[in-house]
């Protein structure tokens, strides 16, 4: 178990057969559920890909038993300043409360700090701020809950102040600035290496539901401008722009007026489809990148921050429980929702990752929107 932290339920029950544990044996199921509830043991969940039902759990993971050191070269090879953003959760005492390492796999513990690295395969400029922000918020909340629980078992009164704060790093991961200083915005937050740390802080602290960029937004990075937009990103642009604007943009990007007319003729009852397929056509035939879109917009005297919005992912908070969200919907559920999707059908298809060819096929074969939705689902 010290190698991989894995244990099976029967093994644990066998341990409890020993004389010392006899008292808990009659309540073994309850005690086991309690260990899971307290995150001391965690379930390895698996689902049947066909039926969507949860498979019986065989293996359980016990983080505190994993004593193997991280001897891979991941940190030196992958966490490079070009591709990585970093922050640290710093605890007030000299050590991290022991309740924490029992529940986290701590490859990045240094003294009283937990270092968080977010690595992009190619460049850190391509890390989507919404994703960085939700990773940070999620970990912050977890640390908060564990600390609270730990305090409640040690002290009688729960101290309202958090036992840790967040520090943000410069690009070399050498200088770390506390968040209070960054939030104040009165101080110069430039480190000895000449890095403005507020830029890092902003990526981790993206404001939600933002319809517009910050006044000091400098637009997409060079890396992002050289990228080919994904179908989902083109969909977001097409949904947010008027038909006329997409038409003008397409002509600026060398589409012929006749091509546009063909497109309109092909989908007379679906302007959303016309807008979207026009952009797809530009991507597939003219190989447009974000930079080309930016150039087109500048020529049309439209703000290039339209493109920042396109890269942003909408955060959706669902009231549905996680284990329900994790399961595969039944045919009955699909039948019920397919009647409610209407004209959104191809947007749904793109968001779910269907290819353009698949969607065109579905559109041609079924005139009825409900039938189309069913096919997409
Ligand atoms: Zn520095
Ligand atoms: Zn912007």
pLDDT in tens, 5-43: 888 888 888 989 999 888 888 998 999 888 888 777 888
Ligand 1: centre distance to CA 190 (Å) = 8
Q: Which pLDDT band, with edges at 50, 70 and 90, does 63 fall under? A: confident
Closest CA to 43 of 61, 64, 55, 65: 61
Ligand 1 centroid from CA 259, angstroms? 52
Q: What's the rounded Cα separation, in Å, for the pair 301 and 307? A: 14
**Poorest-confidence range of 72-76, 311-315, 351-355?**
311-315
Integer Cα distance of 25 and 28 in angstroms? 5
**CB-based contact 255:281 (threshold 8 Å):** yes
- The rounded Å distance from CA 134 to ligand 1 centre is 25
The tokens of 124 are what? 């850190």
CA of 139 to the centre of ligand 1 (A): 24
pLDDT at 186 over 90: no
Rounded to whole angstroms, how far apart are CA atoms 279 and 268? 17
The Å distance, Cα 213 to ligand 2 centre, comes to: 5
Kindly state the helix (H) or strand (E) to which residue 43 belongs, with its residue range. Answer: strand 42-43
**pLDDT tens readout for residues 84-127:** 999 999 988 766 666 666 666 555 556 788 888 999 988 998 88
Distance of CA 232 to the CA centre of its chain: 15
Q: What is the pLDDT of residues 188-228, one digit of tens each?
A: 788 888 888 888 988 898 876 666 787 788 888 888 899 99
Ligand lying closest to the C-alpha of residue 170? 1
Q: How high does pLDDT run on average in the chain?
A: 82
Average pLDDT over residues 220-240: 88
How much distance in Å is there from the Cα of 88 to the middle of ligand 2? 27
Nearest one of 151, 172, 168, 169 to 160, comparing CA atoms: 151
Instruction: Give me the residue label for tokens 């960029």.
Output: 213
Ligand nearest the Cα atom of residue 171? 1
Which residues partner with 346 through β-bridges?
A: none
User: Ligand 1 centre and the CA of 197: distance in Å?
Assistant: 8
**If you measure from the C-alpha of residue 209 to the centroid of ligand 2, how many angstroms do you get, rounded to a whole number?**
14
Share of the chain above pLDDT 90, in %: 19
CA angle 373/327/353 to nearest 5° reads: 45
Sequence-ordered strand ranges (E) for 47-170: 59-61, 84-91, 109-110, 113-119, 164-169
> Coil, helix or strand for 3?
coil
**Among 69-73, 157-161, 261-265, where is mean pLDDT lowest?**
157-161
């Amino acid at each position: 178990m010290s190698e991989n932290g894995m244990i099976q339920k029967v093994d644990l029950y066998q341990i409890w057969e020993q004389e010392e544990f006899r008292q808990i044996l009659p309540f073994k199921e309850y005690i086991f559920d309690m260990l899971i509830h307290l995150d001391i043991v965690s379930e390895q969940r698996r689902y049947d890909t066909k039926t969507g039902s949860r498979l019986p759990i065989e293996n359980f993971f016990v983080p505190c038993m994993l004593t193997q050191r991280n001897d891979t070269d991941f940190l030196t090879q992958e966490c490079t300043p070009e591709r990585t953003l970093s922050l640290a959760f710093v605890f007030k005492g000299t050590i991290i409360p022991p309740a924490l390492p029992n529940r986290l796999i701590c490859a990045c513990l240094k003294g009283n700090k937990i270092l968080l690295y977010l690595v992009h395969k190619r460049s850190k400029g391509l890390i989507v701020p919404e994703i960085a922000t939700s990773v940070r918020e999620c970990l912050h909340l977890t640390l908060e809950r564990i600390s609270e629980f730990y305090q409640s078992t040690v002290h009688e009164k729960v101290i309202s102040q958090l036992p840790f704060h967040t520090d943000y790093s410069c690009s070399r991961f050498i200088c770390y600035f506390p968040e209070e200083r960054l939030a104040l915005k009165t101080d110069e937050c430039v480190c000895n290496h000449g890095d403005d740390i507020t830029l890092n802080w902003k990526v981790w602290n993206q404001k939600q539901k933002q319809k517009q960029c910050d006044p000091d937004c400098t637009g997409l990075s060079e890396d992002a401008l050289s990228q080919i937009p994904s179908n989902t990103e083109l969909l977001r642009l097409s949904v947010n722009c008027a038909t006329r604007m997409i038409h003008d943009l397409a002509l600026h990007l060398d589409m012929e007026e006749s091509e546009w007319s063909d497109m309109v003729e092909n989908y007379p009852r679906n302007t959303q489809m016309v807008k979207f397929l026009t952009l797809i056509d530009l991507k597939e035939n003219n190989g447009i990148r974000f930079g080309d879109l930016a150039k087109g917009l500048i020529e049309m005297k439209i703000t290039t921050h339209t493109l920042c919005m396109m890269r942003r992912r909408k955060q959706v908070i669902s009231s549905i429980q996680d284990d329900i969200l994790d399961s595969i919907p039944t045919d009955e559920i699909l039948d019920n929702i397919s009647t409610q999707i209407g004209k959104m059908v191809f947007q749904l298809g793109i968001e779910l990752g269907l290819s353009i060819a698949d969607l065109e096929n579905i559109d041609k074969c079924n005139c009825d929107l409900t039938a189309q939705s069913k096919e997409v689902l």
